[in-house]
């Protein structure tokens, strides 16, 4: 009987060691930056909302890719969007990724990675409600001038829209 308890004890020690190893691996991998469409979509969406809310022209402008920034009428489009979006954000429903983001990897590194967030029911203290859609390359090693937002659409509750950029100019 003592022999069986000894064997059970050894098995228990192995199980405990395995569990500890798994916990260590999980804690170490949580330190690694993981690029994911949800992570990047939420990060970029919050950045965008902050610039809209604070009426930050330069911040909003710099979120766009070089190809869009150099397009005709871009500066005016940025100002129109800032004028269109009124008030400070009180609440919003959600930040969703509309499509599975496209990505490619080579030798373990991302060569392309894009996101397409949709932010719903953005309520401001100016008694306005907005929805926002945008498309953005996070990584594009073949076309680095395309990294950033290619198109931003803001729609208010009455259906009026304000748009910056052109998705098809950047994504032919």
Two tokens, residue 31: 């330190």
Write down the residue that tokens 């919003």 correspond to: 92
Confidence of residue 5 (pLDDT cuts 50, 70, 90): low
Instruction: Work out the pLDDT band at 166, boundaries 50, 70, 90.
Output: very high
Residue 73 has pLDDT above 80, yes or no: yes
Whole-number pLDDT of residue 171: 85
Element spanning 61, H or E = helix 57-62
Query: pLDDT at position 22, please?
Result: 53
Q: Residue 33 pLDDT > 50, yes or no?
A: no
pLDDT at residue 32, rounded to an integer: 34
**Lowest-pLDDT range of 13-17, 115-119, 133-137, 163-167:** 13-17
Q: What's the token pair of residue 145? A: 């001038």
**pLDDT score at 109:** 72
**0.85 exceeded by pTM:** no
- pLDDT at 35 (0 to 100): 45
Residue extents of the structural domains in the chain: 35-170
Residue that the structure tokens 């909003």 belong to: 60
The mean of the pLDDT values for the chain is 83
Find out whether 76 and 116 touch, Cβ atoms under 8 Å: no
Q: State the CATH class of domain 35-170.
A: alpha beta
Region at 114 (left for phi over 0; alpha for psi -120 to 50; beta for the rest): beta
CB 126 within 8 A of CB 87: yes
| Residue 132 DSSP SS3 | strand
pLDDT at 86 over 60: yes
CA distance 26 to 20: 10
Residue 9 has pLDDT above 70, yes or no: no
Number of Cβ within a 10 Å radius of residue 163:
16
Give residue 85's pLDDT.
97
| Cα–Cα nearest to 145, from 75, 70, 76, 74 | 70
């Amino acid at each position: 009987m003592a022999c069986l308890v000894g064997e059970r004890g050894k098995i228990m020690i192995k199980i405990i060691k395995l569990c500890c190893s798994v916990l260590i691996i999980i804690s170490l991998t949580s330190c690694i930056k993981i690029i994911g469409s949800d992570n990047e979509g939420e990060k970029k969406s919050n950045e965008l909302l902050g610039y809209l809310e604070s009426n930050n022209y330069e911040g909003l402008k710099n979120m766009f890719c070089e190809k869009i920034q150099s397009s005709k009428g871009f500066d005016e489009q940025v100002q129109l969007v800032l004028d269109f979006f009124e008030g400070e954000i009180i609440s919003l429903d959600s930040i969703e990724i509309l499509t599975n983001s496209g990505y490619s990897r080579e030798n373990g590194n991302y060569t392309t990675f894009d996101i397409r967030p949709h932010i719903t029911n953005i309520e401001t203290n100016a008694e306005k409600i907005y929805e926002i859609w945008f498309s953005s390359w996070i990584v594009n090693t073949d076309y680095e001038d395309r990294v950033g937002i290619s198109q931003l659409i803001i729609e208010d509750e009455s259906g009026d829209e304000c748009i910056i950029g052109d998705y098809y100019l950047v994504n032919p």
